[in-house]
Amino acid sequence: MKRIIILLFTLALIGSFPAYAAAMADSAECACVINGATGEVVFAKNAQTRHAMASTTKIMTAILALENSDADDVVTVTADAANQEGSAAYIEAGDKIKMKDLLYGLMLNSGNDAAYAVAEYITGSVDNFAERMNIKAEKLGLHDTHFANPSGLDAPDHYTTALDLAKLARYAMSNDDFREIVAERVYTATLPESGGTLTFSNHNKLLKTYEGATGIKTGYTKATGRCLVSSAKRDGMEFIAVTLNDPNDWADHAEMLDASFAAHYPKKVVEKGMKMKTARVNGKPCNMIAAEDFVVPFKEKGANKIEVITHLSQNIPSPLNAGEKVGYAEITANGEEIGRVDIVSETDITDTNDMRLSDSFMERVKRVIQKILM
C-alpha cells in the first residue's frame, strides 16, 4: 500500500460543555464520559479512583474471547463453570455450545458460568485467563486496572477506574462482533448436540429507553454497588459513559449522554464521494473517492489534530469497476488511529496500466482546509 498524507490540521471545536456538567452523576462514586471517536474525556468525577467493577469485567472477557477464538468453536461446559455463583446463562455441565452463543450468554445474561467456560476454553484455567486479562490491560494502557477473575465476583485485587473502563469499552466497541452482541436485546441460542435452546435477555434497559443506545454492560454485587458502562450514537457521534457504585445509574447515564450530545456537533472529516486522489488514464481524469462518511464529534475549547492518510494499492486491477476498492483512508486523532474508510474508484476504468496518479489534489485540500480554519 502507498502511504500519502493528504490532510493535516488542528480545529478549534464548536459548542461548549454545559455549565451544569460538574453537578452530574451526583449519586455515583465514580463517573466518566469519553468521546467514542477520539477518546477525549468530556466529563469526569473521581474518574481515576480505583474501584471494584462487578460484571463490567466481562467486557474484557468478551473481547479476549473474540480475539482468541472463532465464533463457531464449540465449548464443552465443565462442572466448575456450570456451578458458578451469581448471575447465570444457565448452561449445564456437559453442554456443548458455540462460542458465539456463549458470548451472548456472557454479555446479555451476565452469566458467571459463561465467563468461566470462556476462560477455561481460551487458556485452560481461570487463573491463566486472569493473567491474560492483565497482560491485555497493560497493553491497552489501563494502568489502574487489575483482574482476578473473568466474571467480576468481588476480590481484593480486582479493580479498575471509571476512565480505564471507558477506555476498555471504547477499544471493545471497535470490534464489530462485540458491538453486535452488546446491542442485542434478546438472543436465542441452540445447543448443537442436544438441540435445546437458551434465551438470553439483555440487562441493559437503556437499549429500550434511551435514543441511540448501542450498549454495553451492567454490573452489580452487594459490596461493589451498581456499575454501568453505556454507549449511545446519534448523528454519527458516539459517547461512552461509565459509573461505579451508582444507585441511580440509569438516570445518571441518560443525563451524562444528553449533555455530551448537546455539547458537540458532528463534523465530517471524510465525506462520502470526497475526492481522495485523482488519476489520469490515457490523459483523462479519474477520481478515487471515499466510500462513506467519517464523523468526529467536535466541541469548543478543545483541539484535535486530525490526520487523514491514504493507503493506495500498488497493484490496482484492470479493468477497474466503479465502486471497486483501491485502498483506504486512515483517520487519526492526535496520532492515534480512530477509523478507516474505503477508497473506491468513482468510474469504470478499462485499463489501469496507463493510470497515473496526480498530486494536484493536494493543493485543493490545502484550500479547503484554509477555508475551514478561517
Query: How many Cα atoms occupy the beta-carbon half-sphere of 59 within 13 Å?
Result: 31
Residue 347 confidence (pLDDT):
86
Tell me, what amino acid is at 265? Y
pLDDT in tens, 124-158: 999 999 999 999 999 999 999 999 999 999 999 99
- Got the DSSP string for 110-157? --HHHHHHHHHHHHSSHHHHHHHHHHHHHHTT-TT-B-S-SS----TT
Active-site residue flag, 16: no
Q: Which one of 23-27, 219-223, 297-301 scores highest in mean pLDDT?
A: 219-223
Which candidate, 293, 219, 241, places its Cα nearest to that of 54? 219
Which candidate, 291, 348, 342, 295, places its Cα nearest to that of 317? 348
Active-site residue flag, 55: yes
For 291, the 3-state DSSP assignment is coil
Residue of 45, 55, 217, 231 marked active site: 55
Helix (H) or strand (E) holding 298: strand 294-298
> In percent, how much of the chain has pLDDT > 70?
85
Residue 299 confidence (pLDDT):
80
Residue of 110, 151, 230, 260 marked active site: 110
Can you read off the three cell numbers belonging to residue 250? 440509569
Question: Which residues, in sequence order, are bridge partners of residue 333?
Answer: 306, 336
Asked whether 104 and 114 are in contact (CB, 8 A), the reply is no
Q: What is the mean pLDDT of the segment spanning 2-21?
A: 39
For the cut 90, the answer to whether the pLDDT of residue 271 exceeds it is yes
pLDDT in tens, 318-354: 778 889 898 899 999 888 899 899 999 898 887 666 5
More confident residue, 281 or 109: 109
Residue 285 confidence (pLDDT):
79
**pTM across the whole model:** 0.84
Residue 354 confidence (pLDDT):
58
Residue of 58, 98, 136, 167 marked active site: 58
For the cut 70, the answer to whether the pLDDT of residue 160 exceeds it is yes
Predicted confidence band of residue 367 (pLDDT cuts 50, 70, 90): very low
Walk me through the domains of the chain, giving residue ranges and CATH numbers: 2-12+268-373 (2.60.410.10), 19-262 (3.40.710.10)
Q: What is the mean pLDDT of the segment spanning 364-374?
A: 34
Residue 9 confidence (pLDDT):
40
pLDDT in tens, 173-185: 999 999 999 999 9
First to last CA, the chain: 34
For 23, the 3-state DSSP assignment is helix
For the cut 80, the answer to whether the pLDDT of residue 98 exceeds it is yes
